[in-house]
Chain A
Amino acid sequence: MEEKIKNSEKTTYETFTQEEYMEMKRDLLKPLEKIGLWGKVWIGFLVTVCLLGVYAYYIQETKSKYVTVSLRDYTMWGVYISNFVFFVALSLIGVLMSAVLKLTNFEWYRPLSRIAEVIAVGAIMLAGVSIVAAMGRPERLWHLVVYGRIQSPIVWDIIVILTYVTTSLILLFIPMIPSMATLKNHLTGKPKWQMKMYELLSFGWEGTEAQWKSLKRSIKILTIMVIPLGVAIHTVTAWLFATTLRAEWDSTNFGAYFVSGAFLLGVAGMVVAIFVIRKAYNLEKYLTEMHFDKLGMALVMMSFIYIYFNINEYLVPAYKMSGLHANHLLNLFVGDEALFYWMVVLFGMVIPATLPLIPKLRKPLPLTVIAVGVVIAAWFKRYLIVIPGLAHPYLPIQDVPESWRHYTPSLIEMTIVAATFAATLLIVTLFSRFFPIISVWEVAEGKLEGKDEIINYK
């Protein structure tokens, strides 16, 4: 008994001297060594799209929104807000792929956690940008702080987004401290400022027992905190709709419906991300077929949960077919938006719920194809939540101009949306060029503790 207690108190603080560790380090630091031609072309492309977005925003703000975008009194939240909801949903990838798996001791999370965290940081930042793009008078954003009501969902949204950005950044950064020391000690041929940055950010890390203890404690606190926070951010986003008077959004189901959709998108996003990263940086040894297999199963589970909430959301009102609800539902089921709607159901729910049940389709390539479909469908799903609902207000205005009744995003809007995607990808790409995209110590720790499943799985 005494021996048992002693063992449980004993913590293994690795010194990472093993040969295997050195090999791992070489593999995982390789992407930082040199940016190849295709890497430069990719970064150049993303920067160009971002700059086009900045220019489009300049036009939008200088020539007035009425002229440059299709937003009108009915559809006052267009593609910007649906894009915002998409990015908030994507940012929950950090909660699911890092925090939940970590706390529930799914060891295969190890090479995934940093990828998930950096996508979360990028996505939530661009979610904020999407809101500002939609604002009529962005220079008055501070009025929300000075004149806002604490009871207002929009004030809560700002608070929760700021908190989530900060938490995600800290949660991304703290597990990187040992990596900073590794970079400082092992990277060569890098500019002075870069090495100085690693030194500053390593906060005097030496890997002492006390430092490990403190670091792991901090990570645990943040990991626990980020789960309710992630759920809160997306629930508040859902409440922005549920508390607005529109037939489509009159739902007590909205918070859970949004969160379940975000988790499905998170899994799909992760599949696409690791497929690209393992190919681009030759990390097949770390992001293995096992990960795709597990993520494929997670995709099925999340799809079924999402389907359940969708049935609640659409089938119950469809049974009643009352008033304005009927307008909207018929529009989705058999009307103007039917093709869109059923494509989203097919690619965003039915296919990910069924096809990955076949083991062969959980291999990297087929699963990635399925996941790409889910990601695209997820974007359009948010579009279908935001836009058609706005077209049917409870208090219709008499003699509205025709342009208020229909909404098609303008070129300016689509350019800005494209730029937000490019910016998220740019954040992930640049991050992976300056910091290891897979946490060396977390993967090594898994291996040293005998959890071979991470890299030996075939």
Chain B
Amino acid sequence: MKNIKYLISFCFLFSLGLLVSAQEKEASMSISFDKVDEKNVCNVLVSSEDKPVAEVSVSLYVERLFGLLPIKTEVATEENGIATFEFPDNLPLNDDGKLIVLAKVEDDENYGSFEEKTEAKIGTPKDLSKLDNSGRSLAGGRDKAPIYFIIASISIIAGIWGTLAYVLLQVFKLKKLKTV
């Protein structure tokens, strides 16, 4: 009986030990930007308990209006815990002149899923002048309809409604065509 109690206690402690050892460790990320050979580079440092962590898959995204724009996915961190991404300089910036950059680690076997966001000022300002100053076109605004289109439309509408008015006028004139 005593042996059985020992056995149960041992199993319980062993399971607890397994559970504790299988638990994911805490990790964090920090995002920084750098310039290497005239090119923008984004470095994502993954660390756990203040030590860099290697071989963790990191994906980098930029937040856009309808979702996340992937810059590059699943880049592994190196010995120094840094995953390096080449960052494009032609992304249109948000209204506040910034981009929201998001680094993600998903389902890592040791550290699970976590993410980090930061702001970056790398990109091109939104240029709406192309839209504002575009010439007349079918896709243009209310006051930007092509001249030929306006002329054609008005001619057709006026021609048809003019004919209808003429025909109605003839109806009103019928009385005058009575025998006197």
Residue B178 lies at the interface, judged by CB distance under 8 Å to chain A: yes
Number of interface residues of B (CB under 8 A): 28
Within 8 Å of chain B (Cβ to Cβ): is A222?
yes
Interface pair A221/B167, CB less than 8 Å apart: yes
A148 cross-chain contacts in B, Cβ below 8 A: 142
Q: Which of A149, A208, A214 contacts B173 (CB 8 A)?
A: A214
A281 within 8 Å of B (CB atoms): no
Residue B112 lies at the interface, judged by CB distance under 8 Å to chain A: no
Chain A CB within 10 Å, residue with most, of B139, B140, B141, B179: B179
Q: Are B178 and A206 in contact (CB under 8 A)?
A: yes
The CA-CA distance from A185 to B153 in the complex, in Å, is: 45
CB of A229 within 8 A of chain B?
A: yes
Which chain A residues in 123-154 approach chain B with CB under 8 Å? 147-151
Within 8 Å of chain A (Cβ to Cβ): is B20? no
B14 within 8 Å of A (CB atoms): no
Stretch among B28-36, B53-61, B155-163 lining the A interface: B155-163
**B-contact 0/1 string along A149-192, CB 8 Å cutoff:** 11100000001000100110010001001000000000000000
Q: How far is the CA of A150 from the CA of B140 in the complex (A)?
A: 10
Whether B175 and A204, one on each chain, are in contact in the complex, defined by CB atoms closer than 8 angstroms, is: yes
Residue of A nearest to B157 (CB): A159
Q: Which of A147, A203, A208 contacts B171 (CB 8 A)?
A: A203
B139 to chain A, nearest CB (A): 8
Are the CB atoms of A151 and B174 closer together than 8 Å? no
Residues of B within 8 A of A205 (CB): 174
B150, CB-defined interface residue at 8 Å: yes
B179 touches A206 (CB 8 A): yes
Is B167 in contact with A203, judged by CB distance below 8 angstroms? no
Interface residues of B in 133-180 (CB under 8 A from A): 138-142, 145-146, 149-150, 153, 157, 160-161, 163-164, 166-168, 170-175, 177-179
- Whether A214 and B174, one on each chain, are in contact in the complex, defined by CB atoms closer than 8 angstroms, is yes
Q: Is B17 an interface residue (CB 8 A)?
A: no
Q: A211-B178, A225-B163 are known contacts. Are A151 and B140 too (CB-CB below 8 A)?
A: yes
Interface size bracket, A side: 20 to 34
The answer to whether B170 touches A177, judged by C-beta atoms less than 8 angstroms apart, is no
The DSSP consensus for interface residues of chain B is helix
Chain A residues with CB under 8 Å of B138's CB are: 151
**Chain A nearest CB: distance from B7 CB in Å?**
50
- Is A26 positioned at the interface, with any CB of B under 8 Å from its CB? no
Whether A149 lies near B142 (C-beta < 8 A) is yes
Complex: A211 Cα to B179 Cα, angstroms: 10
**In the complex, are the beta carbons of B171 and A218 less than 8 A apart?**
yes
Known: A150-B145, A151-B145, A206-B179. Contact between A177 and B174, CB under 8 A? Answer: yes
| Chain B residues in 8 Å Cβ range of A163 | 157, 160-161, 164
Q: Are B167 and A174 in contact (CB under 8 A)?
A: yes
The residue in chain A whose Cβ has the minimal distance to the Cβ of B149 is A151
For residue A211, which residues in chain B have a CB less than 8 angstroms away from its CB?
Answer: 174, 177-178
Q: Tell me which residues across on chain A come within 8 A of B157, comparing CB atoms.
A: 159, 163
Inter-subunit contact B160/A218 (CB<8 Å): no
With contacts A170-B168, A204-B174, A204-B175 taken as known, whether A150 is within 8 angstroms of B160 at the C-beta atoms is: no
Most buried by B among A167, A229, A398: A167
Q: How far is the CB of A355 from chain B (nearest CB, A)?
A: 40
Chain B residues near A204 (CB, 8 Å)?
174-175, 178
Give the residue of A147, A215, A221 whose beta carbon is less than 8 angstroms from that of B174: A215
- B51-102 contacts to A, CB under 8 A, are 67
Contacts of B150 in A (CB 8 A): 150
Map CB proximity to B onto A205-230 as digits: 1 under 8 Å, 0 otherwise: 11010110011011001100100010
8 A-B pairs, CB-CB below 8 angstroms? A150-B150, A170-B164, A174-B171, A204-B174, A204-B175, A214-B174, A218-B170, A221-B163
Closest 8 CB pairs of A and B: A204-B175, A210-B177, A203-B174, A211-B177, A218-B167, A149-B142, A151-B138, A218-B170
Residues of B participating in the A interface, judged by any CB pair closer than 8 Å: 67, 138-142, 145-146, 149-150, 153, 157, 160-161, 163-164, 166-168, 170-175, 177-179
Known: A149-B140, A151-B138, A206-B178. 14 other contacts (CB 8 A): A151-B140, A163-B161, A166-B164, A174-B167, A203-B172, A203-B175, A204-B174, A204-B178, A208-B179, A214-B177, A218-B170, A222-B163, A225-B160, A225-B163
